[in-house]
């Protein structure tokens, strides 16, 4: 009674929230209205006026499901209108209509929050549509309005009919303004700094495109060790499981040796060579590395990749270095032979001047008086029969690495073995070359692919005998470097599982770049558009009916087919009981379950609830609103003292 | 709120329990079988109070009682009765056998020959007997309590599994607890006192309650689905050779309804089925030969534990 006579001006917090919310929606609208078509603005204004009118009358609100279905239709319509040239405008227009619809609702706490979110989205789309200083004005206004409104909303949600005097209302407003004032410096930092750094700030989160060492056009003896100490993935090859001894992944071919390093000299196109044998298909996901060569199982016949070129030494490459993850399919012939009628013998017999007499003498001793083929085999046996050990450490990085390897150190990595063999073959007048790539790999059963790591890097030899290139691998096989079946402990299995997930992510998400998605999207849209180009009225209507039915169907599932109230009541009871330590077995009936409760009062209350519940539930009757409320109250009361 | 008037059943249970020490469970189950219009098989050792139970029931329910002691030379006509030539009237007169009673105790049914057994079981199923071309209706309500002695095998004819299905429930009384037995010893046999019980109901009441149960207790769709889940689980179990018949399924539904009624509900909840599963399901299920030695009750219980209740 005193309030009425009180001259102090009071306001309901409910009204306050409503007014501020309208201002927030207005700010969102103003921020985009210059960029969207007039029709939408007009529509929004009409919706806004309608909702203010309904708000004023207080008695009538449109049923929620009508609004929800309409909103869904709007969303579908804006998706339909999306196009690659302008993604933002249709979204902004759609959002605006959604905002208008939201205003029409009998607003509850979450509706207010949705309105705020939509307004913020509108503002962000305005930022995408134009770079204009006015944007920051809207931003500041919106931030302040949101801060005030959120605080008011907190009061409102506790007590909707709360009355505030002018003084208190102002106090709350000023206090809530402090929130953005404090947070704005931080925001400004993000706002100003973030878009202006040339490198993404959060890049460390997903370490993409890490610079990797890899095979290059020339490498010095000992170089591969650097690669072999790298545990990162070079590629994954999706294919069936194959004999591990055949897992040579061909990358590059090197033919010119200068005593310490190998390089590639010019080569002709592929047409002079011929392959024969069992074919095997692979889909390879190659990680970016610092070169242009692309790998496939020895010997690749075809690689399906745009711009990929091939040389007569059967190596495939791209015009430029591979700087992002690529995917390609390759067909390989599983054979260790390449047929080539005529080769440039001088090139493959070339030896540097500084080859020592000792090597020559050794070779002569090994091959004199033997056929070329036998000679090659003798050299192979000489190298990999055990007197030379495989090692990745303390390699002979000297001026005469081959001599030191053969006569002094007696150990080396695959490069030393392969180089020694090639040089010795050439001394024996057998044309030969070095092939670089990877050997082995871990077969991931989960993803059906070979995981090949940098440390699988390997080089081997090809010798030209009887008009065909034959593969020789002089490196002793019992080496740790390419252990293709490491201890399969749990940790390793977990790693493989993680890698399989990673692989699928790569295969389906990352590789699917945005352009492709847009292209696909346009295709779908084209398909959708086609029917109404030249269709008769009947079919056009049936199309509309189908779309309407689908919308209604989705709407029904989204808004009506929620968990029935019975299920919610029961799961609420069971949750409460579980919190108290009483867990029900799913085969236990409710009353049976309650027998296990030792707390008498709790048991009695729960029994009351269950009996009330069962009376409707097991009679297949639906609950009235009052009953639901009563049951909910009982649940609340369940644990009270 | 509650339109179930089950106080008289409560009353019966209350007053009979005084005489049947430690047989409260058996008594309740017998009443459920009785009000479900089924028949009861008690598998137990002699001397544990089967007869006392049967007599007590018949007295309390105000029904007449007949008893058949089965032996291997018992003839079908010893059960059903037969026509005897009356010299005075010059006509054959039908003399009804002990089966023409409301409650019939068939003691040690497995000692009767199969021929006699089948005559009895037929009468149980059809509630009528046909003798020399004439059909005689059995009095309603009609309730058979058959007993079977599991320990004796010599000279017995065990009931075939298919006949077991005709009994709505199979129970056993078991030894009384120490307390109850002490009580019995102190008071002596209660047979005499039981005979003096005043009927708590009459035939009409019994028939009315039976009708109320079958018509008034609601079985929800959810419960029906739950029962179907149970049947399916049992039928598809790897231990089971033959699962529940449809008669068995019906028995489950009837007893569940009666159980609900006794609990004062006019609707069935899953507990009604779960509580009685031991007595309604186990004897109807035939196990595969290799699992014959397993504890049937335990297997059925574990199968039931796999089936989620509707709520």
Nearest to B142 by CA among B153, B163, B161, B127: B127
Q: Is A566 on the interface with B (CB under 8 A)?
A: yes
Q: Identify the band that residue A527 occupies on the pLDDT scale cut at 50, 70 and 90.
A: low
Residue B255, in any domain of the structure? yes
User: Are A72 and A165 members of one domain?
Assistant: yes
Task: Report helix, strand or coil for A233.
Answer: strand
Q: Say yes or no: A487 and A550 in one domain.
A: no
For residues A552 and A579, membership in a common domain is answered with no
Q: Which residue of A has its CA nearest to B275?
A: A592
Which are the contacts of A47, defined by CB distance < 8 A and separation ≥ 6? A97, A100, A101, A103, A104
A202 inside domain: no
> Going by DSSP bridges, is the β-strand pair B143-148/B169-171 parallel, antiparallel, or unpaired?
unpaired
- Regarding whether B280 and B200 lie in a shared domain, the answer is no
At A283 the pLDDT is 87
**Residue in chain A lying closest to B269 (CA):** A618
Q: Do B274 and A586 touch (CB under 8 A)?
A: no
User: What DSSP designation does B267 have?
Assistant: B
Tokens (6 digits) for B133: 């071309």
**How far does A618 lie from chain B, in Å, by closest CA?**
5
Half-sphere exposure of A54 (CA within 13 A, CB side): 18
Above pLDDT 70, what percent of chain A?
81
pLDDT tens figures, A465-502 = 888 899 998 888 754 444 444 555 677 777 777 777 77
B311 occurs within a structural domain: no
Place of tokens 């030209």: A464
Q: For position B233, which CATH number holds? A: 1.10.8.80
pLDDT tens track for A582-640:
888 888 888 888 888 888 888 888 888 888 888 888 888 888 888 888 888 888 887 77
| Same domain? B161 vs B272 | no
Query: For residue range A397-427, what is the model confidence (pLDDT) as tens digits?
Result: 778 888 888 888 888 888 888 989 999 999 9
* pLDDT band (50, 70, 90) for residue A318: confident
Distance CA B201, CA B59 (A): 9
Last residue of a domain, one of B146, B175, B205: B205
What is the DSSP secondary-structure string of B124-167?
A: HHHSEEEETTEEEEPPSS-EEEEEE-SS--TT--PPPHHHHTTS
Asked if the peptide bond before residue A366 counts as cis, ω within 30 degrees of 0, the response is no
- Domain end: B181, B205, B229, which one? B205
Whether B190 and B243 map to the same domain: the answer is no
| Of A587, A590, A615, Cβ closest to residue B308 | A587
Confirm whether A63 is domain-assigned. yes
Least confident stretch, A63-67, A316-320, B224-228: A63-67
- β-strand A411-412 against A389-390: which pairing, if any? parallel
- Split at pLDDT 50, 70, 90, the class of A87 is confident
Q: Is residue A204 part of a domain?
A: no
Angle (CA) A371 A373 A377, round 5°: 115
Query: Between residues 67 and 106 of chain B, which touch chain A (CB distance below 8 Å)?
Result: none
Query: What is the residue range of B42's domain?
Result: 7-205
Mean pLDDT of chain B: 84
Beta partners for B82?
A: B95
**Residue B37 region, left (φ>0) first, then alpha (ψ -120 to 50), else beta?**
left
Indicate the DSSP class of residue A116: H
Q: How far apart are CA A518 and CA A525, in angstroms?
A: 10
Does B88 lie in the same domain as B189?
yes
Nearest Cα neighbor of A27 from A132, A136, A105 is A136
Q: What total of structural domains would you count in chain A?
A: 4
Count CB neighbours of A495 within 10 A: 14
**Residue B308: closest CA among chain A residues belongs to which residue?**
A587
Q: How confident is the model at residue A558 (pLDDT cuts 50, 70, 90)?
A: low
A257 with A343, same domain: the answer is yes
Contact A590, B311 (CB under 8 A): yes
- Put simply, whether B257 touches A (Cβ < 8 Å) is no
Give this complex's ipTM: 0.78
Residue B25 lies inside a defined structural domain of this protein: yes
A594 touches chain B (CB under 8 A): no
Residues B75 and B36 in one domain: yes
Domain assignment of residue B212, yes or no: no
List chain B residues with CB under 8 Å of A614. Answer: 265, 267, 269, 311
Domains held by chain B: number: 2
Nearest Cα residue to B237 out of B285, B278, B200: B285
Cα nearest neighbour of A610 on chain B: B311
Q: What is the CATH number of the domain that holds B193?
A: 3.40.50.300
Provide DSSP, A366-403: HHTTS-HHHHHHHHHHHHHSSSSEE-SSS---SSSHHH
Structural domain that includes position A403: 218-499
Task: State whether B274 and A590 contact (CB < 8 Å).
Answer: no
Measured between beta carbons, which residues in chain B are less than 8 angstroms from residue A585?
305
Q: Give me the pLDDT at residue A268, please.
A: 63
B124 & B173 share domain:
yes
Residue A201, domain member (yes or no): no
Q: Is residue B211 part of a domain?
A: no
The top-scoring range by mean pLDDT among A122-126, A164-168, A423-427 is A423-427
pLDDT value of residue B255:
92
pLDDT above 80 (res A377): yes
d(CA A621, CA A615) in angstroms, rounded, equals 8
State residue A463's pLDDT score.
Answer: 92
- Tell me, yes or no, whether B178 and B55 share the same domain: yes
Does the residue B263 lie in any domain? Answer: yes
Segment A183-198, tens digit of pLDDT: 777 767 766 655 544 4
pLDDT for A119 equals 92
The per-residue pLDDT for A478 is 54
Question: What is the separation, in whole angstroms, between the first and last Cα of chain A?
Answer: 36
Any CB–CB contact under 8 A between B140 and chain A?
no
Contact indicator for B65, B239 with CB cutoff of 8 Å: no
**In this complex, do B271 and A591 lie within 8 Å of one another by their Cβ atoms?**
yes
Q: How far apart are CA B219 and CA B227, in angstroms?
A: 11
With beta carbons less than 8 A apart as the criterion, state whether B276 and B227 touch.
no
- Locate A540 and state its tokens: 């056009």
Residues B91 and B155 placed together within one structural domain of the fold: yes
User: Are both A128 and A277 inside the same structural domain?
Assistant: no
Q: Encoding tokens for residue A230?
A: 């790298």
- Determine, yes or no, domain membership for A169: yes
Q: How far is B32 from chain A (nearest CA, A)?
A: 19
Give yes or no: residues B174 and B134 share one domain: yes
Q: Which residues of A touch B220 (CB under 8 A)?
A: 617-620
Domain co-membership, A225 together with A254: yes
Q: Do B220 and A617 touch (CB under 8 A)?
A: yes
Q: Does A617 touch chain B (CB under 8 A)?
A: yes
Task: Tell whether A42 and A183 lie within a shared domain.
Answer: yes
pLDDT attached to residue A238:
87
Distance from CA of A599 to the nearest CA of B (A): 22
The 8-class DSSP code of residue A290 comes to S
Residue of chain B minimizing CA distance to A613? B311
* Assigned domain for A241 exists: yes
**Residue A10 falls within a domain, yes or no?**
yes
pLDDT at A216: 65
Average pLDDT along chain B, 311 residues, taken 10 residues at a time: 61 79 83 89 82 83 87 87 86 87 88 87 84 84 86 76 84 83 76 78 85 87 88 86 85 90 87 87 84 81 85 74
When pLDDT is averaged across residues A313-324 and rounded to a whole number, the result is 82
């Amino acid at each position: 009674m005193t309030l009425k006579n009180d001259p102090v001006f009071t306001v309901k917090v409910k009204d306050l929230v409503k007014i501020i919310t309208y201002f927030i929606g207005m700010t969102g609208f103003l921020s985009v209205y210059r960029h969207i078509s007039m029709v939408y603005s007009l529509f929004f204004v009409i919706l806004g006026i309608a909702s203010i009118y309904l708000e004023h009358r207080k008695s009538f609100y449109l049923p929620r499901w009508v609004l929800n279905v309409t909103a869904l239709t709007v969303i579908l319509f804006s998706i339909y209108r999306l196009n690659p040239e302008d993604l933002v405008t249709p979204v902004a227009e759609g959002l605006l209509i959604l905002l208008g619809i939201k205003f029409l609702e009998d607003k509850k706490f979450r509706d207010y929050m949705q309105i705020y979110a939509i307004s913020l989205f509108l503002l962000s789309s305005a930022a995408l549509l134009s770079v204009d200083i006015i944007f920051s004005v809207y931003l500041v206004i919106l931030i302040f309005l949101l801060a005030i409104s959120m605080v008011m909303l907190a009061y409102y949600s506790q007590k909707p009919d709360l009355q505030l005097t002018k003084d208190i209302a102002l106090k709350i407003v000023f206090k809530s303004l402090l929130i953005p004032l404090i947070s704005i410096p931080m925001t400004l930092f993000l706002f100003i700094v973030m878009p202006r750094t040339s490198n993404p700030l959060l890049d460390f989160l997903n370490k993409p495109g890490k610079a990797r060492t890899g095979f290059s056009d020339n490498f010095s003896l000992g170089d591969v060790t650097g690669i072999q100490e790298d545990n990162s993935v070079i590629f994954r090859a999706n294919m069936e499981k194959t004999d591990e001894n055949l897992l040579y992944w061909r990358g590059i071919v090197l033919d010119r040796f200068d005593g310490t390093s190998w390089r590639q000299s010019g080569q002709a196109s592929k047409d002079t060579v011929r392959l024969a044998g069992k074919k095997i298909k692979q889909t390879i996901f190659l990680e970016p590395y610092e070169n242009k060569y692309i790998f496939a199982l020895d010997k690749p016949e075809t690689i399906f990749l745009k711009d990929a070129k091939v040389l007569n030494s059967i190596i495939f490459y791209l015009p430029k270095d591979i700087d992002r993850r690529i995917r390609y399919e390759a067909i390989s012939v599983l054979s260790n032979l390449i047929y080539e009628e005529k080769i440039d013998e001088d090139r493959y017999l070339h030896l540097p001047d500084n080859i020592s007499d000792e090597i020559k003498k050794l070779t002569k001793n090994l091959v004199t008086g033997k056929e070329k083929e036998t000679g090659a085999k003798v050299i192979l046996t000489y190298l990999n029969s055990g007197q030379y050990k495989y090692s990745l450490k303390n390699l002979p990085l000297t001026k005469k690495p081959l001599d030191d390897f053969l006569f002094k150190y007696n150990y080396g990595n695959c490069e030393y073995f392969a180089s020694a063999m090639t040089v010795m073959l050439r001394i024996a007048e057998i044309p030969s070359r070095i092939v670089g790539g990877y050997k082995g790999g871990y077969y991931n059963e989960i993803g059906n692919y070979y995981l090949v790591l940098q440390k699988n890097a390997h080089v081997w030899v090809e010798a030209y005998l009887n008009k065909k290139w034959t593969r020789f691998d002089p490196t002793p096989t019992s080496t740790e470097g390419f252990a293709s079946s490491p201890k399969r402990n749990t940790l390793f299995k977990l790693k493989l599982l993680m890698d399989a997930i990673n692989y699928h992510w790569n295969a389906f998400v990352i590789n699917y770049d945005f352009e492709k998605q847009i292209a696909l999207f346009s295709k779908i849209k084209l398909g959708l558009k086609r029917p109404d180009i030249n269709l008769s009225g009947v079919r056009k209507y049936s199309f509309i009916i189908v779309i309407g039915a689908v919308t209604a169907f989705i709407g029904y599932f989204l808004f009506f087919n929620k968990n029935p109230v019975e299920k919610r009541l029961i799961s609420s009871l069971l949750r409460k009981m579980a919190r108290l330590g009483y867990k029900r077995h799913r085969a236990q009936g409710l009353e049976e379950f309650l027998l296990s409760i030792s707390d008498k009062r709790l048991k009695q209350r729960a029994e009351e609830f269950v009996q009330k519940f069962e009376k409707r539930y097991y009679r297949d009757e639906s609950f009235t609103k009052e009953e639901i409320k009563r049951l909910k109250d009982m649940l609340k009361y369940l644990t009270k003292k | 709120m509650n339109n179930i008037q089950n106080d008289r059943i409560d009353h019966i249970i209350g007053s009979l329990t005084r005489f049947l020490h430690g047989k409260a469970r058996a008594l309740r189950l017998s009443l459920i079988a009785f009000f479900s219009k089924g028949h009861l098989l008690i598998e137990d050792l002699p001397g544990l109070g089967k007869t006392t139970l049967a007599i007590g029931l018949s007295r309390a329910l105000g029904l007449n009682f007949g008893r058949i002691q089965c032996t291997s030379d018992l003839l079908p006509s010893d059960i059903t009765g037969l026509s005897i030539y009356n010299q005075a009237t010059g006509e054959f007169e039908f003399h009804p056998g002990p089966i023409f009673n409301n409650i019939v105790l068939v003691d040690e049914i497995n000692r009767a020959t199969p021929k006699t057994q089948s005559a009895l079981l037929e009468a149980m199923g059809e509630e009528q007997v046909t003798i020399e071309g004439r059909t005689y209706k059995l009095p309603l309500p009609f309730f058979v309590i058959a007993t079977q002695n599991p320990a004796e095998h010599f000279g017995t004819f065990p009931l075939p599994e298919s006949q077991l299905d005709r009994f709505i429930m199979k129970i056993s009384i078991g030894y009384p607890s120490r307390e109850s037995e002490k009580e019995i010893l102190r008071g002596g046999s209660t047979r005499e006192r039981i005979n003096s019980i005043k009927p708590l109901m009459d035939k009409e009441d019994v028939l009315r309650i039976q009708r109320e149960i079958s018509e008034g207790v609601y079985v929800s769709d959810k419960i029906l689905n739950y029962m179907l889940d149970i049947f399916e689980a049992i039928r598809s179990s790897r231990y089971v050779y033959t699962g529940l018949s449809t008669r068995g399924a019906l028995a489950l539904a009837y007893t569940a309804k009666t159980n609900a009624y006794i609990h004062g509900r006019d609707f069935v909840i899953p507990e009604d089925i779960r509580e009685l599963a031991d007595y309604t399901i186990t004897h109807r299920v035939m196990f595969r030969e290799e699992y014959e030695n397993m504890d049937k009750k335990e297997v059925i219980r574990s199968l039931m534990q796999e089936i989620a209740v509707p709520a």
